[in-house]
Structure 1
Amino acid sequence: MTEEWIITGDYVEACNCDVACQCLWMEPPDDNRCTFSSVWHITDGQYGDVDLNGLHTALLVRSEEGVLLDPGTEWHAVLLTDETADDDQQAALEDIYLGRAGGVFAVAADTHVESAEVATAPFSFTRDGADFSVEIGDSVSMDVVGKRGFNEKLGTIAPHPFNKSTEMNAGKSTTATVSYNDEFTWDVSENNAFLCDFELANA
């Protein structure tokens, strides 16, 4: 039986596109392939009776060609979960992010995910307003700054699937490197990023 879940907190993402990710508007990404890392810091979360407060997860995703959100585009993914999670929390995070418990990740899994690997790792996650810094073991290093317009307000991008409101703030990475294995190794520093206060649920 699928448990009800809801998670809220801080979200940051960095990808290989030079400017705001064209995939959101169903246009091909730079070089016609996508590599991105997404990180969630769950400040308040529940999966049935399992408390997820304070935990982290990350998705590393690559597609070989085509528009990332096109139904015909296959994703290869790595799910990194917080090494501080106990067995119940680990199982809950896997159910949510691998799409077994409904919500947007179920849509992604059913439509796109061709392969998915799971590993645990230590997370260091800090946020100062619109500035984010993330280290995930030896695998991920990400520093992102929010981008402000002529009126000093953070830019806003929509629609984005990883937030209930579908809205994200625009950002740029100063560092965005992944070194997990031969297939998940890239440096997309100085490119597009997104950030937000996120809310996601399966109900």
Structure 2
Amino acid sequence: MSNTPPWAIKGELILNCNCTVFCPCVISLGQHPPTEGDCAGWAGIRIDTGHYGDEDLSGLNVGLLLEIPGRMARGNWKAAAYIDERASEAAYDGLVAIMTGAAGGTTGLFKMLVSEFLGAERAPVVFETEGNERRLMVGRAIKGSVKPVQGADGGDVVVTNTQYWMGPDITVAQASQGRVRAYGRVWDFDGRSAEICQIDWKGPGR
């Protein structure tokens, strides 16, 4: 870790998993099992501002695939990363280090929890926002769309002040589309649980 450059990412993350209702991991911090017993999902990250050492990461997007066999906190995850094809070589290497946990800091827990990293590859990663809808398209691998769940006052339902690793405030959402065709996985999570989170990650220290 002593040779790991300082890094930081600010932006937005969207996630869709196979839970039938809002993911219990947010409140239980991974101690409660997913609603279906195990967890499968995809995530998209829009980097508004960021750097890895001297390399600018601003404006890049990342797609993730996650598979967790039970309670999140118990580990044994499988994961894969799709790095924006527009990334420079240095930015690509930095984002792989961040998403695998090798760069420490906020995502350092990935190094402990992910037992099998399926791979990282360049891909066209498109993160779009239209109104309150967020869409992620990663080549032919991931096609997803999520919208916040509306509350009684017409605003978004938000779980605030959590200790969740992604960020303290999680917007409760639902996927209108959540399809994965990658690494032998064929998932369709339309209508299932989703999350939206403003992220402020950094490393290698916390």
The question of a shared fold, defined as TM-score above 0.5 by the shorter chain, is answered with yes
Secondary structure at 1:19 match in 2: coil
Q: What's 1:127 paired with?
A: 129
Q: Is the 8 A contact 1:130 1:195 kept in 2?
A: no
CA distance in 2, matches of 1:35, 1:129: 27
Tell me whether 1:190 sits opposite 2:194 in the alignment: no
- Of residues 25, 31, 52, the one that matches 1:23 is 25
Instruction: Give the paired residue count.
Output: 196
Secondary structure at 2:36 match in 1: helix
Taking every aligned residue pair, what percent have the same amino acid on both sides?
Answer: 25
* Equivalent runs, 1:51-200 vs 2, <5 Å: 51-64=56-69, 66-68=70-72, 70=73, 72-110=74-112, 112-116=113-117, 117-157=119-159, 158-163=162-167, 166-182=168-184, 184-200=185-201
Displacement of 1:30 in angstroms is 2.3
- Superposed CA RMSD in Å reads 1.3
Q: Which runs of 5+ in 1 are unaligned?
A: none
- Of residues 40, 45, 51, the one that matches 1:40 is 45
Q: What is the one-letter code of the residue matched to 1:197?
A: Q
Displacement of 1:197 in angstroms is 2.4
Secondary structure at 1:31 match in 2: coil
Q: Is the 8 A contact 2:173 2:194 kept in 1?
A: yes
Displacement of 1:104 in angstroms is 2.4
Could you tell which deviates more after superposition, 24-33 or 6-15? Answer: 24-33
Q: What is the one-letter code of the residue matched to 2:144?
A: M
- Deviation string, structure 1 residues 117-164 (Cα, Å, up to 9, x no partner): 11111012111343101110000000101111101221112343112x
- Deviation string, structure 1 residues 34-58 (Cα, Å, up to 9, x no partner): 0011110101011110000111112
TM-score, normalised to structure 2, is 0.90
> Which consecutive segments of 4 or more residues in structure 1 shift more than 2 A?
157-160
Could you tell which deviates more after superposition, 10-19 or 101-110? Answer: 101-110
